[in-house]
């Protein structure tokens, strides 16, 4: 059984259809890259997968782990192991980063029928995860994403991924706004977290992230559809020849 099976998905935002017939199958242990020009529907797909209430699915199906994903709300999907690394993580003033992470961690434990962890025990877990993703401990006591630089926000997303250990991770433009050093750190973190039991979808405009996190599959989005799929070499060709190379024939 595939971890994720998307069939002929049509979806949009405020009455405009943006994703226009996408089919995609992802198995555990796989890393997929979704590339494409701005406005091609990549981010919409990520929001639809995560269950954002403003995005409406008009046609098609998504099966996750044998369940109908579209029947689940955002919270249920998260608890079932779907994780979205946001392109623009929101700032939440007044909410302590460590406390937020503990809430999320405990929500998962409760879902699995286990006891919640107290702040002291969680602190140990958090220290280990912060080390893993190369994040300074001082961010524990900051308000969630408030005043974080672009790089810190993205690292914080990966920290959350590390804490929650999801089955399916979608990273939406995680590389945007990162300098090369930050990109390396983030990529190392992600690589430590991927294994044969989980799957990763990387949504990106540029090829450079893929130098550090190697996908087995690359899909090119254009006009709300996948216009070309291939192996990692496809990413190199795109980088060399530009998106027109694949998007032009689609028109």
Partner 1 sequence: MADENSSKTASVSQVMEKTEYKYGFKTDIDSDTLPKGLSEDVVRAISAKKNEPQFMLDFRLKAYRKWLTMKEPAWPNVHYPKIDFQNISYYSAPKPKKKLESLDEVDPELLRTFEKLGIPLDEQKRLSNVAVDAVFDSVSVATTHKKKLMEVGIIFCPISEALQEYPELVEEYLGTVVPIGDNFYAALNSAVFTDGSFVYIPPDTISPMELSTYFRINTEETGQFERTLIICAENSYVSYLEGCTAPQFDTNQLHAAVVELVTLDNAEIKYSTVQNWYAGDPETGKGGIYNFVTKRGKCLGDNSKISWTQVETGSAITWKYPSCILQGDNTQGEFYSVALTNGHMQADTGTKMIHIGKNTKSSIISKGISADHSSNSYRGLVKVNKGAVNARNYTQCDSMLVGDQCSAHTFPYIETANNSVQLEHEASTSKISEEQLFYFEQRGISRENAITAVINGFCKEVFKQLPMEFAVEAQKLLTLKLENSVG
The footprint of partner 1 (CB under 8 A) covers 50-54, 73-75, 77-79, 83-84, 86, 89-90, 92-96, 99-100, 103-104, 107-108, 111, 143, 160, 164
Strands 67-68 and 55-64: antiparallel
DSSP H stretches of helix in 149-203: 150-164, 180-193
State in angstroms the smallest separation of the CB of 156 from partner 1: 11
Query: How many H-runs (helices) and E-runs (strands) does the chain carry?
Result: 8, 12
State in angstroms the smallest separation of the CB of 203 from partner 1: 15
Give whichever of 50 and 182 is closer to partner 1, judged by the CB atom: 50
Task: Identify which of 183, 187, 189, 220 has the alpha carbon closest to the alpha carbon of residue 205.
Answer: 220
Give whichever of 97 and 247 is closer to partner 1, judged by the CB atom: 97
* Token output for 126: 């958090």
Write a three-state SS string for 67-107: EEHHHCCHHHHHHCCEEEECCCCCCEEEEEHHHHHHHHHHH
State in angstroms the smallest separation of the CB of 110 from partner 1: 9
Strands 67-68 and 82-85: unpaired
Whole-angstrom Cα distance, residue 243 to residue 40?
11
Give whichever of 66 and 93 is closer to partner 1, judged by the CB atom: 93
State in angstroms the smallest separation of the CB of 66 from partner 1: 20
State in angstroms the smallest separation of the CB of 233 from partner 1: 33
Give whichever of 32 and 77 is closer to partner 1, judged by the CB atom: 77
Give whichever of 90 and 180 is closer to partner 1, judged by the CB atom: 90
């Amino acid at each position: 059984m595939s971890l994720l099976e998307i069939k002929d998905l049509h979806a949009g935002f405020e009455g405009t259809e943006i994703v226009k017939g996408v089919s995609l199958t992802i198995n555990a242990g796989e890393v997929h890259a979704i590339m494409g020009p701005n406005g091609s529907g990549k981010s919409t797909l990520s929001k639809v997968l995560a269950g954002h209430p403003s995005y409406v699915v008009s046609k098609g199906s998504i099966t996750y782990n044998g369940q109908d994903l579209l029947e689940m709300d955002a919270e249920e999907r998260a608890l079932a192991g779907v994780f979205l690394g946001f392109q623009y993580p929101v700032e939440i003033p007044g909410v302590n980063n460590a406390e937020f992470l503990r809430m999320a961690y405990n929500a998962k434990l409760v879902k699995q029928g286990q006891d919640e962890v107290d702040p002291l025990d969680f602190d140990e877990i958090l220290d280990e995860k912060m080390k893993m993703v190369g994040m300074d401990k001082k961010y524990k006591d900051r308000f969630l994403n408030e005043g974080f630089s672009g790089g810190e926000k993205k690292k914080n997303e990966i920290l959350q991924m590390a804490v929650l250990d999801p089955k399916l991770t979608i990273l939406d433009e995680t590389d945007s706004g990162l300098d090369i050093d930050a990109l390396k750190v983030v990529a190392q973190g992600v690589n430590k977290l991927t294994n044969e039991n989980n799957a990763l979808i990387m949504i990106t405009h540029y090829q450079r992230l893929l130098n550090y996190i190697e996908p087995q599959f690359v899909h090119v989005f254009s006009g709300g559809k996948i216009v070309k799929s291939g192996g990692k070499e496809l990413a190199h060709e795109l980088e060399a020849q530009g998106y027109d190379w694949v998007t032009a024939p689609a028109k």
